[in-house]
């Protein structure tokens, strides 16, 4: 099936009001509060409180606490000022500030999930689509995908679940039908974006990497072929970021060849390499400003990051079998572009060398093994200057 045929199939299903799995996107879906509710549960666990205890300390009914945690009474229903006051009170009570500061983003993640689940496969106006308004960061995307991955966001990974009489879910809970509707909307968003709304297409593509359905895997394969089939102009930085996302999405599902093609093809351009590093720095929060599209982000953000947070991330992710080759390449490019990082910090240099030595070269492709050797040499050389 060609890309055009796939798009026509999606549009046909949308015309029938059906999702790709035969289910209906539902405007009757209530406002979801599963992510913020689960985060609230972790915060209560950090205090060692029961729901009744916390209700008393907050001067609310214990049914309110139950509703917040289950998502039955979403925290998004609170006024912004009341949510701010709740976060302040929880912090004073002893909840780590990194957790309370994350709660507004968790409410935003729930709003994202609600919009997508309600729409299902139906097209959303561009101004209503959460994927089209700004370049997302890892911290936010980690909250949105928490129900699918079960990966607890880093800032709250140390918080314990509160004790309960029965089993406690290990993640925010979305029904199977809701998950299907969410990913149906990601497919629809990607197809409707076409080649004109690159940010929307790219961010929908990234989300599809978390969908385990065969139709999404096939779509990602077609998307990579589409982006890889044409030569990307070294000045067309948004298209490079899109190709990067498509190749990494397929790598998440176990196929590393697209990433290798991207590294040796698109990233042969210095401009594309700088854009890729800049995007990664933005993704990790090293660039403080928020941007409306990828082109603006890589152009205006290129000079605003030091690489410190990026190198700290990369040296702890050289063992990831799906992303090791991209991480090795990016670390090598970063060390060459920001030489002062290792030249001025002997402790960081030693940790970088230790991470390189512990990387499993046996699982890497030939090009990645050579880059790992080059990275080792560049890091050693930095200590002699």
Q: What does the pLDDT look like over 177-213, one tens digit per residue?
A: 999 999 999 999 999 987 778 899 999 999 999 999 9
- HSE value, Cβ hemisphere, 13 Å, CA-based, for 4: 0
DSSP-derived secondary structure for 39-63: HHHHHHHHHT--HHHHHHHHTS-HH
Report the alpha-carbon angle 67-71-72, nearest 5.
55
Structure tokens at 359: 């990387």
Structure tokens at 107: 């409410």
Residue 253 pLDDT: 82
Distance (Å, rounded) from C-alpha 372 to C-alpha 328? 6
Count the residues in the chain. Answer: 385
pLDDT digits (tens, 9 = 90+) for 41-72: 999 999 999 999 999 999 999 999 999 999 99
Q: Please give the C-alpha separations between residue 95 and each of 69, 125, 255, 287, 333, in angstroms, as whole numbers.
A: 16, 39, 41, 27, 40
Residue 28 pLDDT: 72
Which one, of 150, 141, 153, 70, lies nearest residue 108 by Cα? 141
In this structure, how many other beta carbons lie within 10 angstroms of the beta carbon of residue 235? Answer: 11
Give the pTM: 0.88
The three-state (H, E, C) secondary structure of 105-148, written as one string:
HHHHHHHHHHHHHHHCCCCCCHHHCCCCCCCCCHHHHHHHCHHH
Residue 274 pLDDT: 94
In sequence order, the 6+-apart residues with CB closer than 8 A to the CB of 239 are 198, 227, 232, 233
Which one, of 200, 197, 182, 189, lies nearest residue 115 by Cα? 182
DSSP 32: P
Pair 260, 365: CB distance under 8 Å: yes
Residue 26 pLDDT: 52
pLDDT less than 50: residues of the chain? 1-24
């Amino acid at each position: 099936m060609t890309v055009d045929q796939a798009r026509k199939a999606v549009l046909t299903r949308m015309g029938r009001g059906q999702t790709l799995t035969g289910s209906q996107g539902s405007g009757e879906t209530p406002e979801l509060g599963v992510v913020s509710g689960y985060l609230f549960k972790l915060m209560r666990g950090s205090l060692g409180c029961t729901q009744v205890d916390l209700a008393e300390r907050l001067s609310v009914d214990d049914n309110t606490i139950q509703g917040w945690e289950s998502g039955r009474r979403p925290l998004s229903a609170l006024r912004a000022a009341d949510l701010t006051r709740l976060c302040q009170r929880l912090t004073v009570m002893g909840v780590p500030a990194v957790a309370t500061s994350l709660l507004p983003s968790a409410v935003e993640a729930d709003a994202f999930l609600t919009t997508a689940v309600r729409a299902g496969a139906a097209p959303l106006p561009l101004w209503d689509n959460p994927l089209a308004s700004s370049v997302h960061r890892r911290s936010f995307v980690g909250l949105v995908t928490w129900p699918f991955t079960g990966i607890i966001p880093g800032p709250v990974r140390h918080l314990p679940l509160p004790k309960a009489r029965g089993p406690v879910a290990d993640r925010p809970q979305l029904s199977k039908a809701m998950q299907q509707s969410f990913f149906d909307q990601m497919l629809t968003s990607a197809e409707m974006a076409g080649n004109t709304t690159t940010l929307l297409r790219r961010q929908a593509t990234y989300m599809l990497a978390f969908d385990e359905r065969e139709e999404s895997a096939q779509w990602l394969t077609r998307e990579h072929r589409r982006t890889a089939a044409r030569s990307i102009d070294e000045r067309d930085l948004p298209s490079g970021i899109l190709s990067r996302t498509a190749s990494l999405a397929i790598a998440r599902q176990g196929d590393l060849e697209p990433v290798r093609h991207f590294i040796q093809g698109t990233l042969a351009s210095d401009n594309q390499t700088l854009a890729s590093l800049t995007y990664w720095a933005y993704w990790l929060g090293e660039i403080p400003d928020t941007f409306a599209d990828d082109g603006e982000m890589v152009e205006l953000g290129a000079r605003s990051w030091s690489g410190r947070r990026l190198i700290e991330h990369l040296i702890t992710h050289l063992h990831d079998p799906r992303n090791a080759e991209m991480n090795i390449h990016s670390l090598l490019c970063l060390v060459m572009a920001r030489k002062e990082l290792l030249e001025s910090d002997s402790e960081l240099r030693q940790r970088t060398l230790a991470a390189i030595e512990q990387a499993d070269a046996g699982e890497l492709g030939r090009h990645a093994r050579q880059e790992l050797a080059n990275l080792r040499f560049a890091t050693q050389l930095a200590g002699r200057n």
